[in-house]
Amino acid sequence: MFRHVPLKLEGGRVGMGERSKWNILLFQSKSGCRELLPSCLVHGLDHLVMTVKSIEETSSFYSRALGMEVVTFKGNRKALCFGNQKFNLHEVGKEFEPKAHNPVPGSVDVCLITDRSLHEVVEHLKVGEISGSDKRK
């Protein structure tokens, strides 16, 4: 059972509030515990990166089987495009930067769209005890 509850931060604690940019999802878990989840920070998918054994074989399969358009970008980079979405293709051992931490064939690197600042997203993840790394450093 899901229900949206407007909340706001008051002195570092979550409190009820009529006007708040925080939208929390309250639900009853299978264990019977009530849990709070922040509303989704993600508004869409920018692109994903597929690490593959062969760009040519992968391009051929997805264009033939699903009708995706193969697009070549600067530096002979390839992507599979469909609608407003795209899968960038990296060949294992010949990846472009930035890339996944440990790219292996079949791995996927997902790039999402948010209207929040990088700082807000990082702080949100810290509160949820989710770790990560900043490849820009």
**In the chain, where are the structural domains located?**
2-40, 44-113
> What's the pLDDT band for 131 if we cut at 50, 70, 90?
low
Instruction: Determine how β-strand 69-73 pairs with β-strand 77-82.
Output: antiparallel
Quick count: other Cβ atoms within 10 Å of Cβ 68? Answer: 19
Provide the pLDDT for residue 56.
96
Residue pair 86/80 in contact by the 8 Å Cβ criterion: yes
pLDDT over 70 percentage in the chain: 58
Specify the CATH superfamily of domain 44-113: 2,3-Dihydroxybiphenyl 1,2-Dioxygenase, domain 1 (3.10.180.10)
User: 3-class SS at 134?
Assistant: coil
Mean pLDDT of 59-66: 96
Could you give the dihedral angle defined by the CA atoms of residues 64, 97, 132 and 7, in that order, rounded to the nearest 10 degrees? -70
Per-residue buried b or exposed e for 92-116, using 16+ beta carbons within 10 Å of the residue's own CB: eeeeeeeeeeebeeebebeeeeeee
> What's the pLDDT band for 109 if we cut at 50, 70, 90?
confident
User: 3-class SS at 126?
Assistant: helix
